[in-house]
């Protein structure tokens, strides 16, 4: 069982159960939680396309600011390594000020793939692989 499995299931459950009933100040099919809106993709995309899809929705890939936002490791998050060893969040949040929840031994920058591993799942992964993703954005009233 992956670390923080209970929290991961809790967050996904919140998104699933309240998706249609408690969107609050969010767009349809989005969930409001702690001053942000979240969208769970139903399709798998590579990291760049996932981030592009989020941006087109007026958001970005999720930035994990607390444990409640910690998602299953099989979802893209808004973490990218633009320069070797320099991880950054897509919204500009200072990486050094956030909790890190890397899987054991990660990031390892395993370079068997041509592209290396520069995108975040709490396991640095090849950005060209396809995974589902979560977008995070501001409520409609902001």
Q: Which of 141, 114, 142, 132 is nearest to 39 (CA)?
A: 132
Residue 70 lies in a domain: yes
**Side-chain half-sphere of 14: how many Cα atoms within 13 Å?**
18
| Per-residue pLDDT, 77 | 84
Read off the tokens for 8: 């991961």
Chain mean pLDDT for the chain? 75
Residue 142 lies in a domain: no
Reported confidence tier of residue 44, pLDDT bands at 50, 70, 90:
very high
Distance CA 138, CA 59 (A): 7
If you average pLDDT over each of 4-8, 53-57, 72-76, 99-103, which comes out highest?
Answer: 53-57
pLDDT at 29 over 80: yes
Angle subtended at Cα 67 by Cα 47 and Cα 54, rounded to the nearest 5 degrees: 30
pTM of the model: 0.71
- Better pLDDT: 75 or 124: 75
Backbone angles phi, psi at 124, to 5 degrees: -55, 130
| CATH number of the structural domain spanning residue 86 | 3.10.100.10
Fill in the DSSP letter of residue 69. Answer: G
Nearest to 36 by CA among 55, 10, 63: 63
Domain that holds residue 40: 31-98+105-137
Taking the C-alpha atoms of residue 120 and residue 108, their distance in angstroms, rounded to an integer, is 12
Is the Cβ–Cβ distance between 78 and 51 less than 8 Å? yes
Residue 80: inside a domain: yes
Domain count, the chain: 1
13-27, 43-57, 82-96, 102-116 — which is least confidently predicted?
13-27
Looking at the domain assignment, is residue 6 inside a domain?
no
* Closest-CA residue to 128 (of 137, 136, 119): 119
The whole-number average pLDDT for the span 98-113 is: 67
Q: For 50-78, write each residue's pLDDT tens digit.
A: 999 999 999 999 998 766 665 555 788 88
């Amino acid at each position: 069982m992956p670390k923080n499995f209970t929290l991961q299931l809790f967050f996904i459950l919140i998104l699933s159960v309240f998706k249609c009933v408690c969107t609050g100040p969010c767009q349809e099919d989005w969930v409001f939680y702690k001053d942000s809106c979240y969208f769970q993709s139903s399709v798998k995309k590579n990291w760049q396309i996932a981030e592009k899809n989020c941006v087109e929705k007026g958001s970005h890939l999720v930035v994990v600011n607390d444990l409640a936002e910690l998602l299953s490791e099989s979802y893209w998050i808004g973490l990218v390594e633009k320069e070797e060893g320099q991880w950054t969040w897509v919204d500009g949040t200072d990486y050094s000020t956030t909790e890190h929840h890397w899987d054991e031994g990660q990031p390892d920058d395993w370079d068997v793939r041509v592209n290396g591993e520069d995108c975040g799942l709490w396991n640095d992964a090849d950005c060209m692989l396809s995974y589902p993703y979560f977008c995070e954005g501001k409520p409609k009233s902001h």
